[in-house]
């Protein structure tokens, strides 16, 4: 029975990061819009994450908008030398909080400068281009024009590494012809496993795969099998689902998000959870059927 712990790492660009990170999206208000319900609690969660050894934080300036980046700066700057902050661009929010594409060159350039300013950085570690060709999941479409803009900003020294979010395998291949892609951030979890082939292909190339909605997102994972396995392990279903993701492939980096200190500690503890072979077999059944 293999044990996964937070000392396990995988490359993210030129840096090795621990496989259990933190996603800042939930620090914004309801619907990822507006300020947090409790400003001080949001700062405490960020500081606790770093105190617990997290060295990979995922964010975006369109969370809020601008809210999570400013919270990160307030809580953590000056940043620890080993902290990698990953952001994403390619979307914007209107005054009612709707998510809209923002792919024009001037919008992409402005987004990079907004992230730099609000995070208080001179260079962004990793910028993911968030693709919005469809309202529901990845959809084909050329990414040459927007990614070329980011590659130029990378050459100017404003971005160290580039990644893609909500991308198809064909778009990843297209992107690699334009600039090195160091990570792909797509929806993936125990029950939503469309990206299984892509994860395996990226692992062979040493490219990180970062699942968003690792616990189901706005519709949390619900599975009798998951609940039963978790009960036998003395863990929560969400801890068990996170532990399964760590076992799924060595290139998976996790960024579960929360605005609660208790949930943060619970999520981080999932990195220490052993999954015996019978538990893995049962959970694989959830993935194959997509149900519990």
pLDDT tens sequence across 79-127: 999 999 999 999 999 999 999 999 999 999 999 999 999 999 999 999 9
Tokens of 227: 């609940």
C-beta of residue 4 within 8 angstroms of C-beta of residue 247: yes
CB 212 within 8 A of CB 187: yes
Q: Say what the pLDDT of residue 120 is.
A: 98
How far apart, in Å, are the Cα atoms of 236 and each of 211, 226, 247, 265? 19, 9, 17, 12
Nearest alpha carbon to residue 55 among 146, 151, 160, 125: 125
133 has pLDDT over 90 = no
Reference 70, options 107, 114, 128; nearest CA is: 114
Output DSSP code: residue 77.
P
pLDDT digits (tens, 9 = 90+) for 57-69: 999 999 999 999 9
Please, is 291 exposed, middle or buried when counting C-beta atoms within 10 Å of its C-beta (0-12, 13-18, 19+)?
exposed
To 10 degrees, what angle do helices 144-155 and 169-178 make?
40
Burial of residue 129 (number of CB atoms within 10 Å: 0-12, 13-18, 19+): buried
Q: Are 185 and 175 in contact (CB under 8 A)?
A: no
More confident residue, 258 or 222: 258
20-46 tens-digit pLDDT: 999 999 999 999 999 999 999 999 999
Of 243, 246, 160, the C-alpha closest to 210 is 246
Q: Please give the CATH topology (third level) of the domain spanning 18-222+252-260.
A: TIM Barrel (3.20.20)
Question: Any catalytic annotation for residue 188?
Answer: no
Give the active site residue among 22, 63, 188, 209: 63
| Residue 177, H or E segment | helix 169-178
Chain centroid to Cα 216, Å, comes to: 13
Regarding pTM above 0.85, the answer is: yes
Angle (nearest 5°) at CA 221 between 217 and 224: 175
Burial 81-93 (b: 16+ CB within 10 A, else e): eebbbbbbbbbbb
Q: Is 256 helix (H, G, I), strand (E, B) or coil?
A: coil
């Amino acid at each position: 029975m293999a044990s996964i712990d937070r000392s396990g790492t995988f490359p993210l660009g030129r840096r090795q990061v621990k496989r259990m990170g933190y996603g800042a999206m939930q620090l914004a208000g309801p619907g990822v819009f507006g300020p947090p319900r409790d400003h001080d609690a949001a700062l405490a969660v960020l500081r606790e994450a770093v105190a617990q050894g997290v060295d990979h934080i995922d964010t975006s300036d369109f969370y809020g908008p601008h809210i999570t980046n400013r919270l990160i700066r307030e809580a953590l700057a000056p940043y620890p030398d080993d902290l990698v902050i990953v952001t994403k661009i390619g979307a914007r929010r209107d005054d009612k909080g709707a998510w809209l594409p923002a792919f024009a060159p001037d919008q992409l350039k402005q987004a990079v400068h907004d992230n730099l300013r609000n995070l208080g950085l001179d260079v962004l570690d990793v910028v993911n281009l968030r693709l919005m060709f469809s309202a529901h999941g990845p959809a084909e479409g050329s990414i040459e024009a927007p990614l070329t803009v980011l590659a130029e900003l990378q050459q100017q020294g404003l971005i160290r590494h580039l990644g893609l979010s909500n991308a198809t395998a064909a778009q990843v291949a297209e992107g690699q012809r334009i600039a090195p892609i160091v990570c792909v951030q797509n929806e993936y979890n125990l029950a939503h496993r469309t990206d299984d082939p892509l994860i395996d292909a990226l692992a062979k190339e040493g490219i990180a795969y970062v699942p968003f909605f690792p616990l189901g997102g706005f519709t949390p994972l619900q599975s009798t099998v998951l609940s039963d396995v978790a009960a036998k392990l003395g863990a929560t279903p969400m801890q068990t689902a996170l532990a399964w993701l760590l076992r799924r492939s060595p290139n998976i980096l996790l960024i579960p998000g929360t605005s609660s200190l208790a949930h943060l500690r619970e999520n981080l503890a999932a990195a220490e959870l052993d999954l015996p072979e019978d538990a893995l077999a049962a959970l694989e059944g959830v993935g194959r059927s997509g149900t519990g």
